[in-house]
Structure 1
Amino acid sequence: MSGLCQGRVVVVTGAGRGIGRAHALAFAAEGAQIVVNDVGVALDGSATGDGPAAQVVAEIEALGGKAVADTSDVADWAGAKTLIDTALENFGRLDVLVNNAGFVRDRMLVNLAEDEWDAVVRVHLKGHFAPLRHAAGHWRGEAKAGRTPSARVINTSSGAGLLGSVGQGNYSAAKAGIAGLTVVAAAELARYGVTVNAIAPAARTRMTEGVFAEAMARPVEGFDAMAPENVSPLVVWLGSEESAEVTGRVFEVEGGKVSLAQAWRHGPEADKGDRWAPAELGPVIKELLERAPEPEPVYGAS
């Protein structure tokens, strides 16, 4: 390995399994010290009683790396602070926060219950904001003390958040919120030496086993395009000091493909120079739509 993140201290949330575990192992292989966070719940958010964070720590230590486990609930304000404090108390610094934790409770909107909405938005959106807020407070303090960091935040959005996904209104809304949070945080935290980017990964995890079942069954010439490990090299690079000039971006990553997602942009416009009457707007909107490109289709839409 290149030692790209040698000596850097990295927090990875939801790192007990899947993509998060792959991130933790990849950072450790590049010389980073890792806080492996995972509360240890089932796919639906219920308690399981096992300790996946400790298992990943053991894997890292067996390979000669340094890591500690943390089982804080990242969507709990005090728990998120404990997570950041764990990095500072064990390693004396914090360089990278990878927000990855989440689960799904998929339903069509007409069947989606309030608690299913609240749970998914809480763990994904608040579970990104709360650790980010506590990490940002630490980094701002460092910058004000004359120790400006070279810090990195990598958030986890989704194609569902960028384009929408039928049957995942709660998940899509939360992941879209993460993309929005990413660009705001990038703008606000640049002065403190912090970059903030997001990824929208496609890989095999507990959440996507059904979605990618066909692709999982057809590896291409021995290359498992859906392996979680395919996502981590980009995350490791974004967490390195090399990525200092990249911030406020969302990258899609799948298999060996990396692409830059295009955010909402100002499009065609019509300006009357005065207030429109409702009856005037029909032909105006029609003309704007004719000048605009067709939107990308929502995942799962017929």
Structure 2
Amino acid sequence: MRVVVTGANGQLGKDVLKVLTSCDCEVYPITREILDITDEQSVLAYMDKIQPNIILHGAAYTNVDAAESDQETAYKVNALGTKYLAQAAGKLGAKILYISTDYVFNGTATEPYETESPTNPIGVYGQTKLEGEKFVQEYAEKFFIVRTAWVFGVHGNNFVKTMMRLGKDRGEVGVVHDQIGSPTYTVDLAHFMVELMKTEKYGIYHATNDGQCSWYEFALEIFKQTRRNVKVTPLTTNEFPRPAKRPKYSVLSKKKIKEEGLTPLKNWKEALSTYLKELN
């Protein structure tokens, strides 16, 4: 089984590669230097040469704030890059697993979003990721779309690392308390992706760690588990303005994972504990 992994140098990509080492497959890690996914001809030529059975597509333009002013690049990477990979998968009869986001929803819900809940992104990042989803469904027959949120892992910058750095430097932090979601540990997500890719259970999935919290509650738990005495002040979204709007509520329902008999991701507090051990 030949597996292509895009975004191989990223926070999620590196953990996906690690999980794939225990799987009996030839792995082709793709970085920007190896393949420009926004170049249609290059994508088709590369995939023709490799003839993958599965494309795990995690490469993305993920700078949510920068996307507001650099819409063209965000669209090229998140929408067109995904389109070309989906076309290649369709042509080769390969499976494609596309990592999407909670940002495809507008965040006005009061209960977890189901996989079939209406999408309505409020920013460029969410819009371009949703376009990617549409291209995957249009061009690939064997597809998995996995929406995730609030990702943290050892290999990149993330909220946990930021909190630990600020807590150490300042002894106090201000954190938004009116945005609710579910943290996701990249290792747990990577295990889920590899489990899913081996099946024929196609469609859209929501995959985050179990449970929910605000960013403020997430910060409190980080300092509790790291035994750091840091003062955490709750802020409103309005007190912390950013170029891109954030969904106020983006908890994703994992019902589909259970329905399909797949392994659910553990609770986010337990995931955080595992991550902190890995970090040390």
TM-score, normalising length from structure 1? 0.53
Of 93, 99, 109, which aligns to 1:156? 99
Pair 1:209 & 2:158 matched: yes
Deviations 1:50-92 (A, max 9, x none): xxxxxxxxxxxxxxxxxxxxx111111122124313423xxxx
Distance 1:155 1:216 in 2: 32
The structure that is strand-richer by fraction is 2
Pair 1:11 & 2:13 matched: no
Shift of 1:207: 7.7
Pair 1:87 & 2:55 matched: no
Unaligned runs of 5+ in 1: 1-7, 41-70, 89-93, 140-150, 190-194, 218-224, 258-296
RMSD: 3.4
Distance 1:207 1:125 in 2: 23
Q: How many residues align?
A: 187
Distance 2:20 2:57 in 1: 14
| Residue pair 1:104, 1:207 contacting (<8 A) in 2 also | no
Of 90, 97, 108, which aligns to 2:55? 97
Distance 1:124 1:215 in 2: 30
Distance 2:135 2:29 in 1: 23
- Kindly tell me: are residues 226 and 138 of structure 1, through their superposed partners in 2, closer, same or farther at Cα, counting changes over 3 Å? closer
Deviations 1:181-223 (A, max 9, x none): 343346xx2xxxxx21111123226887248855999xxxxxx
User: 2:130 — aligned with what?
Assistant: 176
User: 1:197 — aligned with what?
Assistant: 144
User: 2:35 — aligned with what?
Assistant: 72
Of 20, 40, 43, which aligns to 2:13? 20
2:14 counterpart letter in structure 1:
R
Distance 1:298 1:213 in 2: 18
Distance 1:180 1:215 in 2: 38
Give the secondary-structure state (helix, strand or coil) at the position aligned to 1:29. coil
Give the secondary-structure state (helix, strand or coil) at the position aligned to 2:192. helix
| Residue pair 2:97, 2:143 contacting (<8 A) in 1 also | yes
Deviations 1:141-167 (A, max 9, x none): xxxxxxxxxx421011100123469x9
Q: Which has the larger radius of gyration?
A: 1
Distance 2:71 2:185 in 1: 29
TM-score, normalising length from structure 2? 0.57
| Residue pair 1:185, 1:196 contacting (<8 A) in 2 also | no
Of 223, 227, 249, which aligns to 2:185? 227
- Kindly tell me: are residues 24 and 39 of structure 1, through their superposed partners in 2, closer, same or farther at Cα, counting changes over 3 Å? same
Give the secondary-structure state (helix, strand or coil) at the position aligned to 1:75. coil
User: 1:299 — aligned with what?
Assistant: 247
Bigger relative contact order, structure 1 or 2, given CA contacts below 8 A and separation 6+? 2
- Kindly tell me: are residues 209 and 87 of structure 1, through their superposed partners in 2, closer, same or farther at Cα, counting changes over 3 Å? same
- Kindly tell me: are residues 168 and 15 of structure 1, through their superposed partners in 2, closer, same or farther at Cα, counting changes over 3 Å? farther
Pair 1:248 & 2:203 matched: yes
| Residue pair 1:157, 1:198 contacting (<8 A) in 2 also | yes
* Percentage identity across paired residues of the two chains: 14
Give the secondary-structure state (helix, strand or coil) at the position aligned to 1:72. coil
| Residue pair 1:156, 1:178 contacting (<8 A) in 2 also | no
Shift of 1:102: 1.1
Distance 1:29 1:118 in 2: 38
- Kindly tell me: are residues 26 and 176 of structure 1, through their superposed partners in 2, closer, same or farther at Cα, counting changes over 3 Å? same
| Residue pair 2:86, 2:136 contacting (<8 A) in 1 also | no
- Kindly tell me: are residues 239 and 15 of structure 1, through their superposed partners in 2, closer, same or farther at Cα, counting changes over 3 Å? same
Of 42, 65, 75, which aligns to 1:107? 65
Distance 2:42 2:105 in 1: 29
Distance 1:123 1:28 in 2: 27
1:36 counterpart letter in structure 2:
P
| Residue pair 2:100, 2:129 contacting (<8 A) in 1 also | yes
User: 2:24 — aligned with what?
Assistant: 31
Unaligned runs of 5+ in 2: 109-120, 167-182, 212-244, 250-280
Distance 1:215 1:177 in 2: 35
1:131 counterpart letter in structure 2:
L
